[in-house]
Amino acid sequence: MPYTRDAACGYGKMEQHVNRGERFHMSGCGISLDISLWLSLENYQLTFVSGEGGVGVRVAIIYRLHPTKKNGLKAADFFKEFSGFVDSLATNSGHLLILDTEKLYSDIMQVICDPYNKTFTWEVKKKQMGRKQREAGKILIEEFGLPITVDDFCQQLNELQKKILPANTVLLPGAENLIRHLHKHKVPIAVASGSHIEDTELKFTKYKELFSLFHHSVCSSSDPDITQGKPAPDCFLVAAKRFPNSPDTEKVLVFEDAVNGVEGALAAGMQVVWVPDANIDKGSLAERATLVLDTLEDFQPELFGLPPYGDQN
């Protein structure tokens, strides 16, 4: 698609070319798009794409410069400037696995790594996801050789989570629909998380009513009945036991994004729908999970003997 202006706006080039209020017009392949760019905050750019000629697109793309030594930006700048802004954009709870917190965790991990000039990676993240707080801290410290203790890690993590999670957490596509559907049809549902109960509450700050639809939540980092976090099966077994009729494990269906969580659910003898991030290498786990989906929006309840969407009864 040709631009009517020279400046191609690949992410790398955008840094050099964008000025406040600048507009691009792209056309070709029967599609015509208007892209307006402006620096809405000191270090971030907001892009609106709107379609013309029968193309119904209205997308807001938020772009932030990648923190480098050269531009002097740190991942922490993101939080300072951005949380209120994202909050105002994320008011559409209808649209927007349940909560999209993994990007926030990655930024928090990068802030903890920043003083030691280490770059947080998906390889390390994959090992941490779903784990209890202290176990996740141990992994970060060992993988990057950080000169801090697990207690230091937990203290920093808790401070950052309090600042970041309440305003910035948004629902992932398909999550709200699924929770309301199961609740409406009286299918008992619970949260089984690696987090501390306080973090789970921080994450649901904007979605208290939705959170109330869960019968209970098991939070591995603070629950006295959980000795081992994911990938151990404990949190899933305890979550199942706490339903009034304590269902047999093979009748429980788990929704997971973390590799550790899928391993835990399988070890508990449960069925598991895995919705992995695109950055996760699925490997042989994809064959062991009951079902692998790109998004919860693709979940079809009837495949598991549940009432289909749109069923009024």
Ligand X SMILES: O=c1[nH]cc([C@@H]2O[C@H](COP(=O)(O)O)[C@@H](O)[C@H]2O)c(=O)[nH]1
Which residues make up the interface to ligand X (CB under 6 A)?
Answer: 102, 105-106, 109, 125, 128-131, 133, 136, 193-195, 199, 258, 261
In whole angstroms, the minimum distance from the beta carbon of 131 to ligand X comes to 5
In what helix (H) or strand (E) does residue 8 lie, and over which residues does it extend?
none
Q: Which is nearer to ligand X, 22 or 198 (CB)?
A: 198
Q: Give the sheet arrangement for strand 271-274, strand by strand.
A: 253-256, 271-274, 291-292
In whole angstroms, the minimum distance from the beta carbon of 151 to ligand X comes to 15
Q: Which is nearer to ligand X, 45 or 260 (CB)?
A: 260
Q: Which is nearer to ligand X, 47 or 217 (CB)?
A: 217
State phi, psi for 295 to the nearest 5 degrees: -150, 150
For residue 311, the one-letter residue type is D
What SS3 class is residue 68? coil
Q: DSSP assignment, residue 172? A: P
Q: Which is nearer to ligand X, 47 or 193 (CB)?
A: 193
Q: Which is nearer to ligand X, 174 or 261 (CB)?
A: 261
In whole angstroms, the minimum distance from the beta carbon of 191 to ligand X comes to 8
State phi, psi for 268 to the nearest 5 degrees: -80, -5
* Residue pair 260/231 in contact by the 8 Å Cβ criterion: yes
Helix axes 75-89, 150-168, angle to 10 degrees: 30
Q: Which is nearer to ligand X, 231 or 307 (CB)?
A: 231
Residue listed under structure tokens 């659910």: 265
In whole angstroms, the minimum distance from the beta carbon of 3 to ligand X comes to 37
Q: Which is nearer to ligand X, 125 or 181 (CB)?
A: 125
- Listed in sequence order, the DSSP H helices in 69-149 are 75-89, 102-113, 122-128, 133-144
Q: d(Cα 253, Cα 251) in Å, to the nearest integer? A: 7
For residue 48, the one-letter residue type is F
In whole angstroms, the minimum distance from the beta carbon of 130 to ligand X comes to 4
For residue 232, the one-letter residue type is A
In whole angstroms, the minimum distance from the beta carbon of 193 to ligand X comes to 3
Q: Are strands 271-274 and 253-256 parallel, antiparallel or unpaired?
A: parallel
Q: Which is nearer to ligand X, 136 or 210 (CB)?
A: 136
In whole angstroms, the minimum distance from the beta carbon of 231 to ligand X comes to 11
Q: d(Cα 156, Cα 94) in Å, to the nearest integer? A: 33
First-last CA distance in the chain: 49
In whole angstroms, the minimum distance from the beta carbon of 72 to ligand X comes to 25
